[in-house]
């Protein structure tokens, strides 16, 4: 330690903070989108997703599964057009933002209620959704499995005061094995029952679950999500199997498995009487 001229220790020497590496700067990931069917004949437009520099909840990556969901929605716009969309664990929010761009009536983007994550998600909505459509995007902090009142309250009461979502997006979340029950609970509380008939005919309400087995030796635990869903009455259908460059090339495990994005569609038939008010 250093000392003052009289030999006493200086305060800055006594109260020293451990050295910490500087927080990495935010980065941007680019996604090329066709905002309307007519744009497909011209040059695609760019969606610039800002990612936090580093985060323990993995919000600093644009996951392959998010890209796969966005592309799937652009090819299946009927799932989104005129509907209410909820994205859980949104990270940078790419699928939800694309949903807003291609005709969703309302999109609610959520992630863990951490200021850095929510501020970044808000930034991405502000910078990628046109001013005319920005009022159709709501950003919230939300903990899976908790009450859903605030999520539903963000929806306009245009359906005879019946508020629920037509589409729920889960992108690369099933590796959180301890949260499977919480995720399914939120989906159950938020998804529109098929028995509800809106004024205009829409596809059956569904949940899109896209993921990669980032830890191949735990793939059976990832798949427990669908076992639990089936046990709770959800119908699970595999709809996508796509190859991408692996997110983490140096990780252990079969690279073929770590390079594959799987997409599933879940829906559940239950009546209005069974819907839970929260």
Judge whether 2 is annotated as a binding position: no
CA–CA gap between residue 139 and residue 144 (Å, rounded): 15
Judge whether 43 is annotated as a binding position: no
Judge whether 40 is annotated as a binding position: no
CA distances from 81 to 36, 45, 77, 107 (A): 11, 19, 6, 11
| C-alpha 190, offset from chain centre | 15
Judge whether 89 is annotated as a binding position: yes
CA–CA gap between residue 109 and residue 92 (Å, rounded): 9
The two beta strands, 206-211 and 167-171, are parallel
CA–CA gap between residue 22 and residue 14 (Å, rounded): 23
Judge whether 133 is annotated as a binding position: no
Judge whether 233 is annotated as a binding position: no
Q: Which two tokens stand for residue 245?
A: 């460059």
Helix (H, G, I), strand (E, B) or coil at 86: strand
Judge whether 264 is annotated as a binding position: no
CA–CA gap between residue 50 and residue 201 (Å, rounded): 36
Q: Maximum Cα–Cα distance for the chain, whole Å? A: 85
- Write the burial class of residue 52 (CB in 10 Å: 0-12 exposed, 13-18 middle, 19+ buried): buried
Enumerate the known binding-site residues: 63, 89-91, 111, 144, 171
Enumerate the known binding-site residues for S-adenosyl-L-methionine: 63, 89-91, 111, 144, 171
């Amino acid at each position: 330690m250093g000392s003052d001229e009289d030999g006493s220790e200086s305060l800055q020497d006594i109260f020293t903070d451990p050295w910490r590496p500087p927080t990495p700067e935010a980065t941007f990931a680019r996604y090329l989108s066709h905002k309307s069917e007519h744009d497909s004949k011209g040059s695609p437009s760019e969606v610039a997703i800002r990612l936090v520099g580093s985060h323990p909840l993995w919000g600093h990556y644009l996951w392959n599964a998010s890209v796969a969901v966005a592309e799937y929605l652009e090819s299946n716009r009927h799932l989104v057009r005129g509907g209410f969309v909820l994205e859980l664990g949104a990270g940078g929010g790419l699928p939800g933002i694309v949903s807003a761009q291609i005709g969703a009536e309302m999109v609610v983007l959520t992630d863990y209620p951490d200021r850095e994550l929510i501020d970044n998600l808000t930034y991405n909505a502000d910078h990628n959704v046109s001013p005319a459509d920005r009022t159709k995007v709501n950003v919230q902090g939300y903990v899976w499995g908790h009450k859903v009142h605030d999520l539903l309250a963000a929806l306009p009461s245009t359906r005879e005061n019946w508020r629920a979502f037509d589409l729920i997006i889960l992108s690369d979340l099933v590796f959180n094995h301890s949260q499977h029950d919480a995720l399914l609970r939120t989906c159950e509380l938020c998804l529109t029952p098929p028995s509800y008939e809106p004024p205009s005919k829409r596809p059956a309400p569904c949940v899109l679950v896209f993921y990669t087995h980032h830890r191949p030796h735990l793939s059976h635990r990832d798949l427990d999500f669908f076992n639990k869903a089936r046990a709770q009455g959800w119908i699970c259908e595999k709809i996508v199997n796509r190859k991408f460059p692996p997110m983490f090339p140096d990780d252990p495990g079969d690279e073929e498995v770590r390079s594959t994005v799987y997409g599933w569609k879940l829906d559940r038939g239950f009546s209005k009487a069974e819907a839970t008010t929260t």
